[in-house]
Amino acid sequence: MKTIYIDGVFYPESEAKVSVFDHGLLYGDGIFEGMRFYNGRVFRLEDHIDRLFDSAKAIALTIPLTKAELTEATLESCRKNNLRDGYIRLVVTRGVGDLGLNPKNCKKATVIIIASAITLYPEELYRNGLTVVTCATRRMAPGALTPAVKSLNYLNNIMAKIEAGDAGEGLMLNEQGYVAECTGDNVFIFKKGELFTPPTSAGALCGITRNVVIGIAREFGTVVHEIDLTRYDLYTADEFFLTGSAAEVIPVVSLDARPIGDGIPGMLTAKFIKRFRELTQASGTPIY
């Protein structure tokens, strides 16, 4: 039985409930983080906590805990569930209000922490690679809600996911038609040994796995370009992969029915996956 943190109290899964008047539910008014823990350590915990507080700041939401308190509550959620490997979902909503979207009527944010054992992608996908299709649904325009905020408004990404269906993962473009990201992952390509990824200004979340991969590239002496990419750049890439806390680093072997490179996961991607896995096993904030 899972034990879930809500506003300072741990509840059994069946009793872990929020009000129907919570604005996270009524309006998608809130923010979240999804992170992983491996071998008894939470990977990049500090970065996730920092990004959560930045998301909160951006939507004028006060998290009723300090960063240190939220960090401790996150680690305690793993301990209470006796877990060494798994997934953590941190959610902060605007809290309970009335049937009106004005956040001023919400007195206190709701803080939820779910630590769970689920793994999200089968190992064969890392060996065989993903199929990606471009979706008609565009990534949220920065003038509407900046994609830098990891908000509870995922509807446009969900529409893209529905479009992608069983075909595979969905690639999302921005309003100008440049590559933004996939529905829950950042995009990278290799061309002639150099690494390319869209800038966050193109509508990509400033992914923590993305930053780790850029760090690995520095370690390897690989040149990294954060520049606007079109679908042409992806079609003609030597290698293509996605990054995200859930997916980690995962190869892509086809986009819109065009094989990427030789149509099999690339050697450079494999090198990055290996190094990424070493880092997840050997670094992070100790839980116990």
Please tell me whether residue 137 binds ligand PXG under the rule CB under 6 A. Answer: no
The distance of closest approach from Cβ of residue 184 to ligand PXG in the complex, given in angstroms and rounded to an integer, is: 4
Q: At what angle do helices 45-58 and 208-220 cross, to 10 degrees?
A: 130
- Contact string 151-180 vs ligand PXG (x = CB under 6 A): ------x-----------------------
Which residues are 225's β-sheet partners? 196
For ligand PXG, which stretch binds (CB under 6 A), given 8-16, 184-192, 220-228, 258-266? 184-192
Please tell me whether residue 186 binds ligand PXG under the rule CB under 6 A. Answer: yes
Cα→Cα distances 270→118, 193, 242, Å: 24, 13, 12
**Catalytic residue chosen out of the listed positions 17, 150, 161, 192:** 150
Give the one residue of 91, 210, 234, 284 binding ligand PXG; rule: CB under 6 A. Answer: 210
Scored b (16 or more CB within 10 A) or e, 208-247 reads bbbebbbebbeeeebebebebbebebbeebbbbbbbbbbb
Which residues have CB under 8 Å from 171's CB, separation 6+? 132, 133, 134, 135, 179, 182, 187, 231, 234, 255
Q: C-alpha 187: how far from its chain's center?
A: 12
Interface of this chain with ligand PXG, residues 239 to 278, rule: CB under 6 A = 243-246
CA distance 282 to 274: 12
Give the one residue of 97, 184, 266, 284 binding ligand PXG; rule: CB under 6 A. Answer: 184
Question: Considering beta carbons, is residue 86 or 129 the nearer one to ligand PXG?
Answer: 86
Give the one residue of 185, 195, 216, 275 binding ligand PXG; rule: CB under 6 A. Answer: 185
Give the one residue of 24, 30, 34, 203 binding ligand PXG; rule: CB under 6 A. Answer: 34
Please tell me whether residue 55 binds ligand PXG under the rule CB under 6 A. Answer: no
- Here the tokens at position 166 are 């069983």
The distance of closest approach from Cβ of residue 108 to ligand PXG in the complex, given in angstroms and rounded to an integer, is: 25
- Here the tokens at position 138 are 């565009």
Cα→Cα distances 108→61, 97, 105, Å: 9, 9, 9
Give the one residue of 149, 181, 203, 260 binding ligand PXG; rule: CB under 6 A. Answer: 181
The distance of closest approach from Cβ of residue 104 to ligand PXG in the complex, given in angstroms and rounded to an integer, is: 28
For ligand PXG, which stretch binds (CB under 6 A), given 6-14, 111-119, 124-132, 207-215? 207-215
150 carries an active-site annotation:
yes
Helices (H), 19-66: 23-27, 45-58
CA distance 229 to 179: 6
Question: Considering beta carbons, is residue 101 or 144 the nearer one to ligand PXG?
Answer: 144
Amino acid at 39: N
Q: Which residues are catalytic?
A: 150
Binding site for ligand PXG (CB under 6 A): 34, 157, 181, 184-186, 205, 207-210, 243-246
